[in-house]
Amino acid sequence: MVVIFIVATLVPPQRMDSEWLWLNDLYHSKMFYVLMGLFSLNLMVCSIQRIPFAIKQYKTPSFPPPSGLYENLAPNRIIVTDKKMETVSRAVESLLKSKLFSVKETKLEKGKMLYRESGRLSLFGVYVVHLGVLMIIAGMVIGSVFGLEADLRLSEGEETNIIQLRNGEGEHPLDFSVRCDKFVVEFYDTGVPKTYRSELSFIKNGQVVRQGSVLVNHPLSFDGLRFYQASYGVSEKSRARLTYSNAGAESPEISAGQGDTFDLPVQKAKATVLRVEENMMQFGPAVKLNIETDKRNIQFWMFQHIQDIADVNPGLFSAVPLFNPGLFKPLVFSLRGIEGKYYTGLQVVRDPGVPFVLAGGLILIAGMMVIFFIAYRRIWFLLEQDPAGVRIRVAGRSHRYNEALQRRLDDLCAWMEKELAA
Amino acid sequence: MNHTLILSYVTFIYFASFVFYLFRMILKKEFWGYAASLLAWLGLFAHTLAMMLRWRASYDLGFGHVPITNLYESLVFFAWSIIMLYLAIEWRIKSRILGTFVVPVAFFVMAYASIAPGVDHSIEPLIPALQSNWLTTHVLTCFMGYAAFTVAFGCGLLYLWTEKKETRETNPASHPKENSSVLNTLDVLIYQSTSLGFIFLAMGIITGSVWAHYAWGSYWSWDPKEIWSLITWLIYAIMLHARFVRGWRGRRMAMMTIVGFVSVLFTYLGVNFLTSLHNYI
């Protein structure tokens, strides 16, 4: 009955598992919780039903031995020797003590019984494993009821205290705010990504309380929430870094996005960034500027790799005014680089079930170790006075690995027979 | 010498070893058994050497990581675990009977690694998701589990084969006792290797979820690989419960090892055809 129970409850979740390939959200469905509940209930009922049996087994002392122990005993397990009881007993005892420790002894009418046991506690290993499984399930339920899963998308420099809950459950305000100071992505020479790193600041009451980096595999915890590096991207607005030289003097670097305007030191001119291109006509990064004075408007492109382009196309920049960065005299512009402004996609998680799941996992492993590596074994040596001398009968029981124990006892008997003959 | 070259020799060594185990079984001459074992040990040695060379080669390329980070490396490591576990068992039970059924699996895995399309042999640097100390523990425990299940599968096949042979030889003068003691040993071996695999798979799943907790923000994502490893684990759980509670032995357990092994294969390779977070393996 127990097995039918186990199989009946184990199989449905499995079928459901395979159906996951088509059914997308089964694991958050009520049906799944019901199945998990049934499974846990079954596990508990089975364990509770069987525990008294295990306790009874545990409490049964090794003496008196189970009835029928010496029925059908193989002939090699019976050793008859013509020596005296006293001598045999002492010999057997010392032999056993050299091979197995802590042998107990009980006097009988016709002789005595020597016995030992080990690994009695392993009877409970299976319940430890079941407890572990239940704790994991409990942890999962706690996590899904009290936990929180959200996304957070921050551009470099952006600060927010609102996170977007998963599964379209809306927004969630935090009582602190997060700022992304910088996002870095590095690549190997082969173009494979090497590192994604977000540098975050956590701000409470206008003060930066904590700063740190979030990397894949290295989340950051703050105020009970864990922040994970999940994705990244480039914001639509790229910024150009440019300078101009005025009669040999280089200006400080200016950072400007598309549509930004900045003042120039001559003719009360204003420069506006019209376009920022990552790769203009296969010539690399380029920016189109509009310079406006009281009198006129000048537009031209400036390329970052102007020297390389000029080397390949001599005279291009003087021949085409639109490509001449020195068109607005006396200034000569140069483009230092374009920065795509990154945003970082963070996953924000709170899962109070984790400690339960972890503890459950550890308990599970410990219990399995007990079950599979420790066996409850008992062995009995019955020494009886016999017309022919002393008869020794050897028997053993193990609820697991019985075959191995029997083989060991066979070896032990052969060895004892040889020793006693000597 | 180049590690790829050594590994292709290793593939042939395993094949030769399998052929010798087969000779031993058919010709019933222990000489072939010695030769087969010797070859298997030689193969394991060369295999280990090749993996270490590959490891060092990854450092020479400037990034350096354990050679268990893509499908090719995992297949090579899988074959290594199978042979290592098999030889340990052969040494412990002092019998070469299993070789014919386990060593060919290692050979097939190696052959698949070298000829299957889409198995990339190159050493690649680690993407950010794999840059974790949990990688080694997770992969090691999972593949030890798979290897133990493979050995159990070999035992299961041998069990069914022996049993069939026994029923065919209805002649009572043949040695039924000898065969039934072989069947007993196999039954115990099935149980032992299954429980070993069961523990390793449990540890693999748990280390995996600890890693996922750091990498993916959740210890369990219902990823196809995760689900199938759980299914595999449950199949073996049912099998062990059937033994403890129902007292299943022998043929039924042997059948279960085959069912379980199919599930292991699907978990390992089949899932790759589905969209999965685990798509680097």
Q: What is the pLDDT of residues A45-73, one digit of tens each?
A: 878 888 888 788 777 777 777 777 777 77
Q: What angle do CA B204, B210, B213 make, to 5 degrees?
A: 135
Q: For B214, which of A192, A195, A219 is closest by C-beta distance?
A: A219
Residues of A in contact with B199 (CB under 8 A): 365, 368-369, 372
Residue B176's contacts (CB-CB under 8 Å, 6 or more residues apart) are: B166
Residues of B in contact with A21 (CB under 8 A): 224, 274
In angstroms, the Cα distances linking A43 to A7, A34, A46 are 11, 14, 5
B63 vs A188: CB contact, 8 Å cut-off?
A: yes
**% chain A with pLDDT above 70:** 89
Q: Does A244 touch chain B (CB under 8 A)?
A: no
3-class secondary-structure state, position A322: helix
| Average pLDDT of the residues in A286-312 | 83
Predicted local confidence at residue B107, as pLDDT: 92
Chain A residues 90-109 within an 8 A CB cutoff of chain B: none
Going A64 to A70 to A76 to A81, the CA torsion angle's sign is: positive
Residues of A in contact with B242 (CB under 8 A): 3
Lowest mean pLDDT among A96-100, A171-175, B125-129: A96-100
Q: Does A415 touch chain B (CB under 8 A)?
A: no
Q: What is the nearest CA distance from B220 to chain A, expressed in angstroms?
A: 9
Predicted confidence band at A407 (pLDDT cuts at 50, 70, 90)?
confident
Q: Are A147 and A134 in contact (CB under 8 A)?
A: no
Q: What is the nearest CA distance from B224 to chain A, expressed in angstroms?
A: 8
- CA nearest to B244 within chain A: A400
Going B118 to B122 to B127 to B130, the CA torsion angle's sign is: positive
3-class secondary-structure state, position A12: helix
Beta-strand pair A207-215/A220-222: unpaired
Enumerate residue ranges in chain B where pLDDT < 70.
Answer: 1, 169-179, 274-281
pLDDT score of A8 more than 50: no
- In one-letter notation, the amino acid at residue B136 is T
Predicted local confidence at residue A377, as pLDDT: 83
At A190-219, the pLDDT tens digits run: 767 788 888 888 998 888 888 888 888 888
At A157-168, the pLDDT tens digits run: 888 888 888 777
At B110-158, the pLDDT tens digits run: 998 888 777 777 777 777 778 788 888 999 999 999 999 999 999 999 8
Structure tokens at B211: 């890693």
| Average pLDDT of the residues in A282-306 | 83
Q: What is the nearest CA distance from A359 to chain B, expressed in angstroms?
A: 11
Virtual torsion, Cα B5, B10, B13, B15, nearest 10 deg: -110
| Average pLDDT of the residues in A84-91 | 76
Q: For A17, which of B210, B214, B227 is closest by C-beta distance?
A: B227
Cis peptide before A65 (omega within 30 of 0): no
Chain B residues 71-130 within an 8 A CB cutoff of chain A: 124-125, 127-129
Q: Does B213 touch chain A (CB under 8 A)?
A: yes
Q: For B128, which of A17, A196, A401 is closest by C-beta distance?
A: A196
| Residues B102, B22: Cα–Cα separation, whole Å | 11
- CA nearest to A7 within chain B: B238
pLDDT score of A1 more than 50: no
| Residues B233, B212: Cα–Cα separation, whole Å | 18
Predicted local confidence at residue A24, as pLDDT: 44
Q: For B202, which of A7, A364, A404 is closest by C-beta distance?
A: A364
Residue B184's contacts (CB-CB under 8 Å, 6 or more residues apart) are: A403
B227 vs A20: CB contact, 8 Å cut-off?
A: yes
Q: For B132, which of A217, A357, A358 is closest by C-beta distance?
A: A217
Q: Are B260 and B228 in contact (CB under 8 A)?
A: no
A349 vs B242: CB contact, 8 Å cut-off?
A: no
Q: Are A358 and A93 in contact (CB under 8 A)?
A: no
Q: Are A174 and A165 in contact (CB under 8 A)?
A: no
Q: Does A357 touch chain B (CB under 8 A)?
A: yes
| Average pLDDT of the residues in A282-304 | 83
Kind plus residue range of the DSSP H or E element containing B255: helix B250-268
Residues of A in contact with B238 (CB under 8 A): 6-7, 10
| Residues A398, A374: Cα–Cα separation, whole Å | 11
| Average pLDDT of the residues in A272-292 | 79
In angstroms, the Cα distances linking B200 to A133, A351, B153, B192, B239 are 16, 27, 16, 12, 16
Predicted local confidence at residue A54, as pLDDT: 79
| Residues A260, A271: Cα–Cα separation, whole Å | 8
- CA nearest to A20 within chain B: B224
For residue A374, is it left (φ>0), alpha (ψ between -120 and 50) or beta? beta
- CA nearest to B239 within chain A: A7
Beta-strand pair A207-215/A193-204: antiparallel
Q: Does B266 touch chain A (CB under 8 A)?
A: no
Q: Is B154 exposed, middle or buried, given 0-12, 13-18 or 19+ CB atoms closer than 10 A?
A: buried
Q: What is the nearest CA distance from B20 to chain A, expressed in angstroms?
A: 30
Virtual torsion, Cα B201, B202, B203, B204, nearest 10 deg: 50
Predicted local confidence at residue A121, as pLDDT: 80
At B86-118, the pLDDT tens digits run: 999 888 888 888 888 899 999 999 998 888 777
Residues of B in contact with A3 (CB under 8 A): 241-242, 245-246
Question: How many CA atoms lie within 13 Å of A60's alpha carbon, on the beta-carbon side?
Answer: 14
Q: Does B247 touch chain A (CB under 8 A)?
A: no
Predicted local confidence at residue A23, as pLDDT: 43
Structure tokens at A355: 């400690």
Predicted local confidence at residue A107, as pLDDT: 78
String of b and e for B67-94 (b: at least 16 CB within 10 Å)? bbbbbbbbbbbbbbbbbbbbbebbeeee
Asked if the ipTM is above 0.95, the reply is: no
Predicted local confidence at residue B276, as pLDDT: 62
Q: Does B184 touch chain A (CB under 8 A)?
A: yes
3-class secondary-structure state, position B21: helix
Neighbours of A408 (CB within 10 A): 17
B246 vs A3: CB contact, 8 Å cut-off?
A: yes
Residues of B in contact with A230 (CB under 8 A): 217
Chain A residues 197-216 within an 8 A CB cutoff of chain B: 215-216
Q: Are A302 and A242 in contact (CB under 8 A)?
A: yes
A361 vs B131: CB contact, 8 Å cut-off?
A: no
Q: Does B259 touch chain A (CB under 8 A)?
A: no
Structure tokens at A361: 């996992």
Q: Does B246 touch chain A (CB under 8 A)?
A: yes
Residues of A in contact with B131 (CB under 8 A): 216-217
Q: For A193, which of B127, B195, B234 is closest by C-beta distance?
A: B127
Which residue do the tokens 């001459």 mark? B29
Structure tokens at A401: 């690995």
Q: Does B195 touch chain A (CB under 8 A)?
A: yes
- The model's pTM is 0.78
Predicted local confidence at residue B80, as pLDDT: 93
Name which residue leads in pLDDT, A25 or B239: B239
Going B165 to B168 to B170 to B173, the CA torsion angle's sign is: negative
| Residues A122, A127: Cα–Cα separation, whole Å | 10
Q: What is the nearest CA distance from A306 to chain B, expressed in angstroms?
A: 34
| Residues B8, B17: Cα–Cα separation, whole Å | 14
pLDDT score of A16 more than 60: no
Q: Does A372 touch chain B (CB under 8 A)?
A: yes
Residue A182's contacts (CB-CB under 8 Å, 6 or more residues apart) are: A156, A198, A199
Closest CA to B272 of B112, B64, B79, B80: B112
Interface with A, mutate which of B61, B131, B187 (most A CBs under 10 A): B131
Q: Are A320 and A214 in contact (CB under 8 A)?
A: no
Predicted confidence band at A11 (pLDDT cuts at 50, 70, 90)?
very low
String of b and e for A43-54 (b: at least 16 CB within 10 Å)? beebbeeebeeb
Residues of A in contact with B63 (CB under 8 A): 188
Q: Are A214 and A189 in contact (CB under 8 A)?
A: no
- Across all residues in chain A, what is the average pLDDT? 79
Q: What is the nearest CA distance from A219 to chain B, expressed in angstroms?
A: 6
The single-letter DSSP state of residue B128 is G
Predicted local confidence at residue A28, as pLDDT: 57
In angstroms, the Cα distances linking B25 to B98, B100, B234, B264 are 10, 8, 34, 28
3-class secondary-structure state, position A257: strand
pLDDT score of A22 more than 50: no
Q: Are B74 and B281 in contact (CB under 8 A)?
A: yes
Q: For A217, which of B125, B131, B222 is closest by C-beta distance?
A: B131
At A122-140, the pLDDT tens digits run: 888 888 888 998 898 888 8
pLDDT score of A32 more than 90: no
Interface with A, mutate which of B219, B223, B271 (most A CBs under 10 A): B219
Q: What is the nearest CA distance from A232 to chain B, expressed in angstroms?
A: 13
